[in-house]
């Protein structure tokens, strides 16, 4: 192989690797207060076509502690995730990183038997529900390489102390 072609292939491979490891975090500007002893029972992503914004809908429940003396209590909250765009033709949701590189985060899938639809996060997308003594914050992390950094699945519920970098709202690229 001629040297010029070999060098070009190496440069292309290095450039692709740098792009593929790109990570973007969207911290919801919304917070909520719930009982410290409740847990996230249900969660979904929704798209508001009127507002052009993706949001996480999270329901907390005390089902682990409810019974004869403690009634079941559920609270639902909405957390906006700004900066996400929807492309109807491809049915994909994406975020744009600092270098104008789009990172796909989810797809709009048809429901069971073709009825309705739902938003399915793609590999590399993780939605973390951070809790700090009843205060709740939601952070969506998108990784271009398709790897989940917290390694526990698409939705994770964590103590705020497990993520000291989540202190401000907004969008950060690393």
Give tens-digit pLDDT for 62-74: 877 777 777 778 8
Q: What is the pLDDT of residue 113?
A: 78
Q: What is the pLDDT of residue 134?
A: 83
The model carries a pTM of: 0.76
Q: How far apart are the first and last CA of the chain?
A: 36
146: Cα separation from own chain's centroid:
13
* pLDDT, tens digit (0-9, with 9 covering 90-100), for 129-141: 998 888 999 999 9
Domain residue spans in the chain? 23-173
Q: What is the pLDDT of residue 149?
A: 62
Q: Which residues of the chain have pLDDT under 50?
A: 1-20, 164, 166-174
Following DSSP, what letter does each residue of 49-113 receive, concatenated?
A: TTTTEEEEEEEEE-TTT-SSSS---EEEEEEEETTEEEETTTTEEEEE-TTS-EEEEEEEEE-GG
């Amino acid at each position: 192989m001629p040297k010029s072609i070999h060098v070009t292939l190496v440069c292309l491979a290095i450039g692709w690797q740098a792009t593929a490891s790109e990570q973007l975090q969207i911290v919801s500007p919304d917070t909520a207060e719930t009982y410290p002893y409740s847990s996230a029972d249900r969660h979904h992503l929704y798209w508001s076509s009127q507002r052009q914004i993706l949001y996480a809908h999270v329901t907390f429940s005390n089902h682990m502690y409810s019974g004869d003396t403690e009634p079941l209590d559920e609270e639902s909250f909405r957390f906006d995730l700004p900066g996400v765009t929807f492309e109807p033709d491809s049915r994909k949701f994406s975020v744009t990183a600092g270098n104008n590189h789009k990172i796909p985060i989810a797809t709009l899938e048809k429901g069971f038997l073709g009825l309705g639809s739902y938003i399915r996060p793609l590999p590399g997308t993780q939605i973390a529900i951070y809790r700090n003594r009843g205060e709740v914050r939601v952070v969506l992390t998108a990784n271009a390489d398709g790897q989940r950094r917290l390694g526990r699945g698409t939705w994770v519920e964590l103590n705020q102390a497990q993520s000291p970098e989540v202190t401000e709202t907004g969008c950060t690229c690393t």
